């Protein structure tokens, strides 16, 4: 998503050129290019698929909408397995229209995980619940903190369900470092994503994630926190930013790699 202006072949070529060893993919461009075709493309380039984004949206009250969401999540698991990644990121979903009950919505996610987690395991895929910033609690994701995400994940085995830690969503939370330690101790940090916090936020607050180093988040501290918790997996940079999307994608990818080295890697 950081460079969604690139086609998949362009993205794969640019990663190879820059020495980026892995890439997190989103379902929509993968489906458009073809799942098997994408799998072949990344395999031939020697590029790892770090995660597939995203499953989830499991909070519907309507039985038909709920069944459709579960079916779609099974397809997402299938796609992850076909792409050769072991991790499917889940964005839980917001409140159904007219509902004001966050707690009940979180329980419906737990119910859905009970159906999806064994299916995912059969396909060699782990589910990674991503808490989203509390500003998305109403319309996108009722799971707002790592604490809530882990409380859900820990109802299942760690090889079935863990969490995604994204600095953009957790940086404000003084409990997040302890929760990262908890997640690491349980083997439940299934994905680690970086994005910076810049202001003012744009209308709709979706596409204002800052380039690494441009904002308020201490990237080295959060990366160190995950590593201290035992995390040794890939680190993704996931930026939703209209300004970055308007630029040349290869240039943005190069800048992102440079920023990652400058702001997240120890000197």
C-beta closer to a copy of itself: residue 78 or 218: 218
C-beta closer to a copy of itself: residue 44 or 267: 267
Which CA distances in Å does 107 have to 63, 73, 111, 114? 15, 17, 6, 11
Q: Count of residues for the chain? A: 267
Closest CA to 92 of 138, 140, 126, 139: 140
Q: Least CB distance from residue 208 to a copy of itself, whole Å?
A: 9
Sign of CA dihedral 131, 132, 134, 136: negative
Q: Least CB distance from residue 28 to a copy of itself, whole Å?
A: 21
Q: Least CB distance from residue 142 to a copy of itself, whole Å?
A: 8
CB contact at 8 A, 76 and 88: yes
| Token reading at 5 | 């202006």
C-beta closer to a copy of itself: residue 56 or 249: 56
Provide CB contacts within 8 A for 29, sequence distance 6+.
4, 8
C-beta closer to a copy of itself: residue 29 or 202: 202
C-beta closer to a copy of itself: residue 63 or 103: 103
C-beta closer to a copy of itself: residue 162 or 208: 208
Which CA distances in Å does 59 have to 98, 148, 181, 211, 240? 13, 15, 28, 31, 24
Sign of CA dihedral 13, 49, 217, 54: positive
Q: Least CB distance from residue 137 to a copy of itself, whole Å?
A: 4
C-beta closer to a copy of itself: residue 90 or 105: 105
Site residues (CB under 8 A) for a copy of itself? 95, 99-103, 133-135, 137-139, 144-145, 148, 171-174, 197, 199-205, 215-218, 221
- Centroid of chain to Cα 248: 24
Q: Least CB distance from residue 183 to a copy of itself, whole Å?
A: 18
Q: Least CB distance from residue 157 to a copy of itself, whole Å?
A: 24
| Count of beta carbons in the 10 Å neighbourhood of residue 58 | 25
C-beta closer to a copy of itself: residue 154 or 218: 218
What DSSP string runs through 79-148? HHHHHT-SEEEEE-B-PPTT---HHHHHHHHHHHHHHHHHHHHHTT-EEEE-PPPGGGTTTTBS--SHHH
Q: Least CB distance from residue 125 to a copy of itself, whole Å?
A: 28
Q: Least CB distance from residue 260 to a copy of itself, whole Å?
A: 16
């Amino acid at each position: 998503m950081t460079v969604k202006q690139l086609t998949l072949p362009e993205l794969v070529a640019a990663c190879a050129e820059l020495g980026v060893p892995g890439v997190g993919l989103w379902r929509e461009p993968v489906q458009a290019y073809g799942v098997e075709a994408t799998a072949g493309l990344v395999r031939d380039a020697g590029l790892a698929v770090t995660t597939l984004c995203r499953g989830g949206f499991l909070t519907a009250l309507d039985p038909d909408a709920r069944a459709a969401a579960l079916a779609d999540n099974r397809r997402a698991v299938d796609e992850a397995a076909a792409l050769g990644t072991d991790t499917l990121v889940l964005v839980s979903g917001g409140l159904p229209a007219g509902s004001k009950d966050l707690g009940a919505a979180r329980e419906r996610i737990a119910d859905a995980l009970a159906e999806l987690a064994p299916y995912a395991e059969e396909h060699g895929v782990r589910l990674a619940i991503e808490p989203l910033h509390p500003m998305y609690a109403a319309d996108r994701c009722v799971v707002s903190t790592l604490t809530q995400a882990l409380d859900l994940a820990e109802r299942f085995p760690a090889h079935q369900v863990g969490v995604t830690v994204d600095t953009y969503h957790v940086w404000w939370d003084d409990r997040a470092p302890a929760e990262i330690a908890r997640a690491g101790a349980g083997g439940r940090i299934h994905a680690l994503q970086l994005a910076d916090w810049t202001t003012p936020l744009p209308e709709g607050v979706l596409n204002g994630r800052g380039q690494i180093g441009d904002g308020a988040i201490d990237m080295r501290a959060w990366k160190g926190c995950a590593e201290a918790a035992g995390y040794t997996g890939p680190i993704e940079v996931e930026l939703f930013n209209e300004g970055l999307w308007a630029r040349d994608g290869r240039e943005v990818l190069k800048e992102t790699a440079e920023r990652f080295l400058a702001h997240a890697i120890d000197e």
